[in-house]
A and B are shown apart, each in its own frame.
Chain A
Amino acid sequence: MKQGSSIVIDPVTRIEGHSKITLHLNEDGRVEEARFHVTQFRGFEKLCEGRPFYEMPSLMARICGICPVSHLIASAKACDSLLAVKIPPTADKLRRIFGLAQVTQSHALSLFHLSSPDLLLGMDADPATSNIFGVAQKNPELALDGIRLRQFGQRIIERLGGKRIHPAWIVPGGVSEPLTEANRDAILSALPDALAIAERTLEWFKSTMERFREEISVFGNFPTLFMGIVKKDNGLTFYDGKIRIVDASGHVVADDLDPTKYSDYIGEKVEPWSYLKSSYYKPNGFPDGIYRVGPLARLNVADRCGTPRADQELAEFHELQRTAVLSSFHYHHARLIEILYCIERLEQLLNDPEILSKHVRAVARPNELEGVGAAEAPRGTLFHHYKIDEQGLIRWVNLIIATGQNNLAMNRSVLQVAKHYVHGNRLTPGMLNRVEAVIRCYDPCLSCSTHALGQMQLQIQLLSPTGEVLDEVSRS
């Protein structure tokens, strides 16, 4: 495997996007600083300037093939506010269904396809087998469950939007087509199987946690703030609500924040070594305003889920720690509880008597020149902010993506793992696996967060105090 100073590991790693990690050593040979560099750039905010805003949801959906629905939703909400309309209640519910299906399939991808090899085969497993095929060999039922659960989510998206990836169904003002009775019934009939998968995976996950005590203690286990959107009753939601921020002790530090005024409390810092900006909570400054978003944060900020099974699991989850649940390893656990919630919530929404209404779109001209849309994407809070001219053409765009908001925490997590596992000036595959695994906890989407096009690659450099490359490991 060794070729000079680099170790090439094939097949490719299980993260979404291009990245590089540098570990800086002090004079004693201990890791002093770690940087998670995102080395790709796309510029979606610039290329949509001049386009009619009605195209924005579909244009923005192209940022990502995994969570196009999240971008569709945030973008359409920004466009709704440009139209200054209240969308029909059925459209609102249909968008929620779409979003829940998206969260289910994306979480399934993260947990089963990307992270289950670490969880099932262990952090020291051979990279050649540490993938979904390795999982299929060792535990075929788990691998099949993952594929089925993702399929469940994707099929809902297809039934509503016409296709699984980049559907153009969500439009400014609502959705383009109502839900048919046949499609509703088909989705409802698939719910019990999906729920059973979610239940048994959660049980399996909880039974494996004991094996990862060491990882739990160093996988991003440090105090930060947590941010997420909550409903009026402080319950879990993915579609709409107010921003809530809690601190590491679990106390609410900010509540009822208007998502459309995100720039009042979220700052973004550009580092010269990464295309990914780092978000921080403005009142605490940079970098003390470090906060996390995504499943772990959502469950830390939410008081309840609002569905029976998920609420039971949430109560158990909150018992993991008396404060907020701090270790990023628990992102996996939170992800599974959210899947459970999504499936239960889907059932509630699909049984709503209004859900088959044909009135699913509000028609208006642009009435505002500026609009913000915020929603919870699988990986965390997503903001789309547009300004248009009198003709309805886009003049300015700002996107704040979940992975950017987790950037500071991911950097600190890599540092924590490196400090714990890297000794001396050599890198070992087990260490690389753990660095990757901690990044995977956040399920970062680098393509989304830099709005950039890229292929999976991870490179780790070990640097001496003088900047000399002592060791380098890359996977490409």
Chain B
Amino acid sequence: MRQAAPVKTLKIDGRDLSGRQEETILDVARQNGIFIPRLCEMDGLSDVGACRLCLVEIKGQNKLLPACVTVVEEGMEVTTDSERLQGYRRMILELLFTERNHVCSVCVSNGHCEMQMLAQRLGITHVHFPYRYPKEEVDASHDRFVIDHNRCILCTRCVRVCDEIEGAHTWDIMGRGIDAKVITDLNEPWGSSETCTSCGKCIHVCPTGALFEKGRSVAEMLKRRQFLPYLTMMREENE
């Protein structure tokens, strides 16, 4: 007889729920139809807790914890939505909008962008911080794809999918803090990358219009992400 995986019981937003011991708060919330916003997390990729949008309140702790990397504990009482959390989430998103140049109206991902949809869902109508307007470049040297650093939010989904699923590790992060940027190989033009297999997975996991297919016009970049959990599952089965 197979031994049952240890199960933890917890409360999320007042609901009594349970999850396996290795599962995160976000996993359990997702299984139970509880929405927690996030931009860096993606089903099928490892979790990094980078965007901080999934921060939740846990009873008995002053510190807010990211739901995507916090595993469930017995008796945990989690609040996923409160005025305080909403305030932080809006602030994080507003800061993301100010950090680079996000101009939805002329973006290839207009109408299909995760950040745009999240901003709408969180009721962001104005940005209360001054915009930085940095001068960021567009690398269109690749035969089929383009990276527009103006729209990158440094979620690192591209870095993870390239490393963990494709196994090429073409993408990485260079620099620190405000100077951080995603690079291909050793900061070479994407078009001259020797490791890139041109598989296009990075394009489809990118939550914004930072990575897109060449030739796509405004609002035309539809991203397909359903493949990821399936790919991961198939690889695990083959191992």
A interface with B by C-beta (< 8 Å):
50-52, 54-55, 57-59, 62, 166, 168, 171-172, 176, 363, 365, 391-393
Contact = CB atoms under 8 A, between A and B. Distances in A.
Nearest to B107: A55
Contact of B138 (A50, A59, A176, A365): A50
What DSSP secondary structure best describes chain B's contact surface? loop
B152 interface: no
B217 A58 contact: yes
Given A52-B146, A55-B106, A392 B140 contact: yes
A54 B217 CA distance: 5
Contacts of A168: 110, 217-220
Contacts, number: 50
B140 A59 contact: no
B219 A391 contact: no
A50 B217 contact: no
Given A171-B220, A392-B140, A393-B140, A54 B105 contact: no
A85 to B, nearest CB: 12
A51 B141 CA distance: 13
Given A168-B219, A365-B215, A391 B140 contact: yes
Contacts of B108: 54-55
Interface residues of B, number: 19
Given A391-B140, A392-B140, A54 B216 contact: yes
Contacts of B146: 52
Contacts of A393: 138, 140
B212 to A, nearest CB: 9
B179 interface: no
B59 interface: no
26 contacts: A50-B137, A50-B138, A51-B138, A52-B140, A52-B146, A54-B108, A54-B215, A54-B217, A55-B106, A58-B105, A58-B106, A58-B218, A58-B219, A59-B106, A59-B218, A62-B105, A62-B106, A168-B219, A171-B217, A172-B217, A176-B217, A365-B214, A391-B139, A391-B141, A392-B214, A393-B140
Interface in B117-167: 137-141, 146, 148
A287 B218 CA distance: 41
Nearest to B143: A365
B108 to A, nearest CB: 7
A391 B140 CA distance: 5
B117 to A, nearest CB: 18
Nearest to B142: A391
Nearest to B219: A168
A368 to B, nearest CB: 15
Nearest to B220: A176
- Report which residue of B138, B140, B146, B216 has the largest number of chain A beta carbons within 10 angstroms of its beta carbon: B140
Contacts of B217: 54-55, 57-58, 168, 171-172, 176
Contacts of B140: 52, 391-393
Interface string B179-208: 000000000000100000000000000000
A201 B138 CA distance: 51
B71 to A, nearest CB: 43
Nearest to A79: B217
